[in-house]
Amino acid sequence: MAAAKVLSFLCLLMFMPLFFTPGCGNEVCEEWLSDTYRMLVMCSSEKCNQLCVSEGATRGRCGFLIVRSFCYCTKECDES
């Protein structure tokens, strides 16, 4: 019984990074500003975008699942 609990806990730890990352982007031309995230009570794409653009980022995205209340900002590079 204890072994099953430990195994379940280790499995959960393995998947935790998926819950805390904002998403995948084009790593070459998109830089996630890990120090630029804000706690929003109900994160909406529109509110998150407005907040991030006002702070100098290109756009914002709400987190996934249990971190839905976090707004992550990203700055895209200029490809010209």
CB 31 within 8 A of CB 21: no
Tokens encoding 11: 């499995």
More confident position, 33 or 40: 40
Mean residue pLDDT of the chain comes to 68
Question: What pTM value is reported for the model?
Answer: 0.49
Per-residue pLDDT, 72: 82
φ/ψ of 49, rounded to 5, equals: -60, -45
pLDDT tens digit string along 7-30? 666 555 555 544 455 444 444 455
